[in-house]
């Protein structure tokens, strides 16, 4: 088991993780991470982000056995699988992502267990959130760069090759498309006076976001009030995160030096112990 120091397990979390190892193909199980501190706008947005990611992406990946990240707050691993791949490498700033990619590359299935709940602290200050996501992005790109040859070997393992392409798109292509579209529509609206088109575009994005997040909140049995944050989630939160990802990617490609930047502990997990 791997559990972060700023996380607290649900009493039944380990029982649900262990049950998944009845399948001998499973090398690791990803837990269901929930944000415990939701009293600030940034923390509440992160709670919504986690719900969306685990309620949709993780469930879809798990159906194919290719969950792309076993999260630090709660991950369960088959001992023989870890021994076979040599455990953690320690040469990237996203060790959980790096280890997961190693397991997938070795042919192990990695699944998600929604009942294995773990509560974690999320950064509440803007700068700490950005520093955390900066490190995650650069660490993920480092892990992908180590295995870039697998991006072009689909015959050996099509699903795992697709998972790597998905991760590359998540950290590079999607942020670039999102920010590029924002700039294109804003500039287009100013130059060509198409404000009505901009309003309709934003409204359809918000409606789509609300629909997806409502689905995820329902299947994750989360608080419905979070749906009210959907407009800000799309218009502000995702823009900030994607801009940070692009800047982090640019510095990774430029080989700018970085260090491990820890997020300050807040001590707000007592209610869940």
Give the domains, in start order, of the chain with CATH numbers: 7-257 (3.90.550)
Distance in angstroms (rounded) separating the CA atoms of residues 101 and 69: 8
Distance in angstroms (rounded) separating the CA atoms of residues 151 and 165: 7
- Check pLDDT > 90 for residue 260: no
186 falls in which pLDDT band (50, 70, 90)? confident
Contact 241, 48 (CB under 8 A): no
116 falls in which pLDDT band (50, 70, 90)? very high
pLDDT tens digits, 54-77: 888 899 999 989 898 899 999 999
pLDDT at 89: 84
105: enclosing H helix or E strand:
helix 95-105
Q: Which of 126-130, 154-158, 178-182, 254-258 has the highest mean pLDDT?
A: 126-130
Quick one: the chain helix, strand, coil %, rounded to 5?
Answer: 60, 10, 25
- Check pLDDT > 70 for residue 246: yes
pLDDT at 273: 46
53 falls in which pLDDT band (50, 70, 90)? confident
Backbone torsions φ then ψ of 6, nearest 5 degrees: -105, 30
119's CB contacts (< 8 A; 6+ apart) are 7, 8, 9, 10, 34, 35, 36, 269, 272
């Amino acid at each position: 088991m791997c559990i972060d120091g700023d996380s607290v397990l649900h009493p039944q979390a380990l029982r649900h993780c262990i049950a998944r190892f009845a399948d001998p193909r499973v090398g690791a199980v990803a837990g269901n991470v929930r944000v415990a501190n939701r009293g600030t706008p940034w923390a509440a947005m992160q709670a919504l982000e986690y719900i969306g990611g685990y309620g949709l992406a993780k469930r879809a990946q798990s159906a194919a056995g290719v969950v792309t990240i076993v999260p630090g707050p709660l991950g369960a691993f088959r001992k023989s699988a870890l021994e076979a791949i040599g455990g953690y490498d320690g040469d990237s700033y996203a060790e959980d992502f790096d280890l997961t990619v190693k397991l997938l590359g070795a042919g192990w299935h990695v699944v998600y267990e929604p009942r294995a709940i773990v509560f974690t602290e999320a950064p509440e200050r803007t700068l700490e959130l950005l520093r955390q996501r900066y490190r995650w992005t650069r660490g993920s790109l480092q892990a992908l760069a180590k295995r870039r040859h697998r991006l072009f070997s689909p015959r050996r393992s099509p699903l795992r090759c697709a998972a790597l392409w998905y991760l590359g798109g998540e950290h590079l292509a999607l942020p670039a498309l999102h920010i590029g579209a924002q700039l294109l529509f804003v500039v287009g609206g100013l130059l060509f006076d198409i404000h009505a088109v901009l309003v309709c575009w934003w409204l359809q994005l918000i409606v789509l976001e609300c629909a997806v997040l409502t689905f995820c909140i329902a299947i994750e049995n989360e608080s419905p009030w979070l749906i009210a944050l959907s407009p800000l989630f799309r218009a502000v939160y995702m823009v900030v995160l994607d801009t940070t990802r692009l800047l982090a990617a640019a510095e990774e490609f430029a080989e700018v030096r970085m260090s491990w930047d820890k997020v300050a502990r807040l001590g707000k997990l007592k209610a869940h112990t």
